[in-house]
Structures are given as C-alpha cells and as structure tokens.
Amino acid sequence: MWDGVIIGGGLAGLIAGIRASENGKKILIVSAGVGSLTYASGTLDFGEFSVLLGKENHPFSVMGEETTRQAFEYFLRILPDYDGKWGKKNSVLTPLGELRRSDLTPRFLAAGPLNAAKQIILVAPEAPKDFFPDVFKRNLEKHFPVAHIIVKPLRADGFELHYRQGRSIPGTDYARYWNSKNGIKELQAFLTGLEREIRKGNSDIVSQETDSFKDTVVIFPGLSAGLSYSLQDLLAQVPFPVIETTLFPPSPGGRSLEDNLKRKFKAMGGELLIGCKALRAEIKDGICQSIAVESKGKELNIQARSFVLAGGGILGGGIQVTPYACQEALCNLPLYVPPEWTKEEFIGEQPYARIGVEADFNLNPIDDQGNVLLKNTYICGRMLAHWDPWTEHCGGGVSLASGYLAGGKI
C-alpha cells in the first residue's frame, strides 16, 4: 500500500511527489508519457497574479495567495539555481529575440543585463534547429536600438559531421554537448577567444576597456547552464555577462528542469513508473481505493491511501475528447465544459481550454453543488477547470502551486 499514487509525471505531479516524499511518504508516480515539460521553456510564470487571484473559480483564487506564495518559495528552496522574487518579474528572451516577462527563471536566463549593454554579441551555433539568428538579431535591434549587435558564428567540433551533411542540430543536442566533457573544453576555448576579441576589438567587435566588460553582453542560446554546476563555474570565470534565451520545443531548459525534478524525487525515495497508463480507478464510498495500470502488457492493481490526478488535461491526455463526449479519463469525474468551444481568431482566448475538474480549496474534486466527490483524491495542474495557461501565462504557477498543495495533503 502506497501513501500516495500520483497520476502524471509533469510539473504538478513531480512537485507533489517531491513534497510528499519530503514529508516521509511513500510515493509512486505513474505516467503514460514523459510529461510536457520539454515542450515548455523551463521558466515558471504566474501571469498577472493579482488579476487572476480575483477571478472567480480560477485555480489561484481557489488555492489562495498564501498557498501560491508558499509554493513559489518552496520551489526556490528545492531549486536554488532559479532566480525569482515574489511579486517581481524578470524579462527573458523569446526564441525569436523578443522580450517577455516571467516569474521563476533558471539562472542566466534573465535578460536584465541587456538594458545597459552598449554591445550585444549573439553567439550563433552553426545549423541550429528552429533558431534563426537573423530574425533574432532584427528583433534585438528593435528592442535595444542603442546597442551595437554582432552575430558571432560558432562551429562545434562535436558536430562537424552533422554540418558537412547539412543536418540541423536540435537545441537539446547542443545543450547535451555543452554539458559534456568535450563540450565544456570547447566552450572554454571559445569564450577565452571571445574575451580576447573583446579586449582587442576586431572589424565587428568594438574593443572594450578591460575594466568595463559590463558594456558587452553575450547571448549564448541553448547552453542550459542554469542547472549545470560545471557550466555555472565556467560562466562565473568569464568577465562579461553571458545570458541565454528560451528556445522552441523540445527545449533544453524544460528538459533540464524535468531531469532535475525527477532526480530530486528519486533521491528522496520516490518511485517512477513511466510509459504506464493508468486505466481506471476503483471507487467505493467516495474514496478511491486503487487504480489499474497498464504495465508491460499486463494490468497492475495499485492501492494507495491518496491519489493525485495530474494527467495534464487535454495536452497531457488526462482529459479525453471525442466527437461525442469529454471525459476525465481515470475516475470519470464530472467536467466543467465551457458552453462555447472555440473562437474565430486562433491566437488568443479559446474557451475549450478552461475545461477541467472543479475542485475545492483542498483540491478535492467537487460536483456542481460543491460536494466533495473523492475525499482522498486531489486535482492538479491542467486537470483543474477554469484557467488557460496560454493566454493567462500562468502555466508553471498553477501547476507548481497545485502540486505543492496536493503534495502536502498526501
């Protein structure tokens, strides 16, 4: 008998698992896939928090400010390599070189140093998949009209064969290389060379006085250094600021966050069952007794005292939609289904995104009268109704806060 079984290995599920394990509970995470974190950029956003807090039924308003804030602080405690201060936003670069706001960001992602930069050097690793230095540079020029912007190409030894064959290199592959032994060595040589160029100047780069390197900022996309000790050490030795950008999925930032959370969870004794789909739940007297899980071609019956539904809503597969019905896939809980499904304009609000299970302040699922339907089951992240991470820009925030809250209830 587990203390808690969590369905879903994304951000909410992992946070719930880590917190409950920290409390000494025996936790199993069952996940049909690998979660959606690699699609995300690795930053955690809370949107216009005060506005969302005032929105009736919004998960932030259901959980309350105190809980959300505690979750924020908790995240910084378990991942101190993230930057963030409650109520204060950082700017980060989008994959196209524009700016957006965020709340919790991996170290080296905050774009603040660019504001004071007189010279911005954009390092452009050769043949990057889904990263366009020209477009990026044009957008930088718009946002930082005063700065002199230089694109500095970089060919990595480790990918020579790829280049010759004309193959592009995904950001996740570059990140893995920069974090490898050879990659770090090459990176070090490159940055030393760059330092020399900045000191002396060349046809593109304006020479800087030795003690005012701060005028120059280097953008290095896809290092994913925020959670890597060896890269942090390396960048700490460089005399000019190096910042990163968020990247198009699959993103190294998201993957690095996922890897770290999984490691933490396992280190605390948690167990992960990935690639195993939860099929159905056995429910008696308002209590979820056990779930059936598909594992290596056979069914496992898993019992637990508590359950967390963190299956990622529509994108994650925890909510299934056919032409004829919408269903919460495991416990068949009633769903809030918006009366209107879509809007004519694609970009922006889409009502269907607010589909989900309604929950009380404990995250227990409730019916339309507010009665608790399952006393030992908690609803997290995208399984919750009444929010839209893509227009409210609060995906990471809601998943973090609800995972934190559910983890504490187990």
Partner 1 sequence: MIEYTAQAVIVGGGATGVGILRDLSMRGISVILFELGDLAHGTSSRFHGLLHSGARYAVKDPASAAECAQENAILKKIAPNCIDDCGGWFVQTEDDDSVYTEKWLIKCQEAGISVREIPVAEAYAKEPLLKRKAVRIFEVPDAAVDGFKLVWANAKSAKRYGGEYKTYHQVERLLRDGDRIIGVSGRISGTGEGFVAHSNIVINAAGAWAPHLVGTVGISLEILCDKGALLAFNQRLFQRVINHLRQPGDGDIFVPHETITILGTTSEFVDSPEENRPTVDEVYKLLSQGEELLPEIQYHRVIRAFAGVRPLYQEEEDDRSEEKRASLANINKAVIENDVYVKAGDEVKVGDEGREVSRNFAIIDHKFEQGVEGLLSIAGGKFTTYRLMAEKASDWVACQLGNQTPCRTAIESLQPEISPDLYQQALKLLPWGAADKMLERLGSEAAIVLGEIQADPRKGQMLCECELVSVAEVQHAVIDKDAHCLSDVRRKTRLGMGTCQGAFCSYRAFPLLGQNREKYAPLREELRNFLNQRWKGIRPVLWGQQLRETELTRAIYSDLLRF
Smallest separation (angstroms) from partner 1 to the CB of 212: 33
Separation of alpha carbons 176 and 156, rounded Å: 12
Which residue lies nearer to partner 1 by CB, 85 or 167? 167
Question: Using the 8-state DSSP alphabet, how is residue 213 labeled?
Answer: G
Which residue lies nearer to partner 1 by CB, 43 or 216? 43
Nearest to 184 by CA among 220, 235, 133: 235
Which residue lies nearer to partner 1 by CB, 131 or 265? 131
Nearest to 218 by CA among 325, 108, 64, 311: 108
Smallest separation (angstroms) from partner 1 to the CB of 195: 29
CB–CB of 43/92 below 8 Å?
yes
Smallest separation (angstroms) from partner 1 to the CB of 238: 28
Which residue lies nearer to partner 1 by CB, 4 or 316? 316
Which residue lies nearer to partner 1 by CB, 38 or 68? 38
SS3 381: helix
Amino acid, single-letter form, for residue 353: A
- Residues at the interface with partner 1 (CB under 8 A): 39-41, 45, 94-96, 98, 100, 127, 130, 132, 134-135, 138, 164-168, 246, 248-249, 313-315, 317, 320-324, 341-342, 344-348, 350, 352-353, 389-391, 393, 395
Separation of alpha carbons 249 and 212, rounded Å: 36
Smallest separation (angstroms) from partner 1 to the CB of 343: 9
Angstrom distances, CA of residue 85 to CA of 52, 76, 229, 254, 355? 18, 9, 22, 20, 31
Smallest separation (angstroms) from partner 1 to the CB of 112: 18
Q: Which residue has the tokens 């105190």?
A: 66
Smallest separation (angstroms) from partner 1 to the CB of 260: 20
Which residue lies nearer to partner 1 by CB, 134 or 204? 134
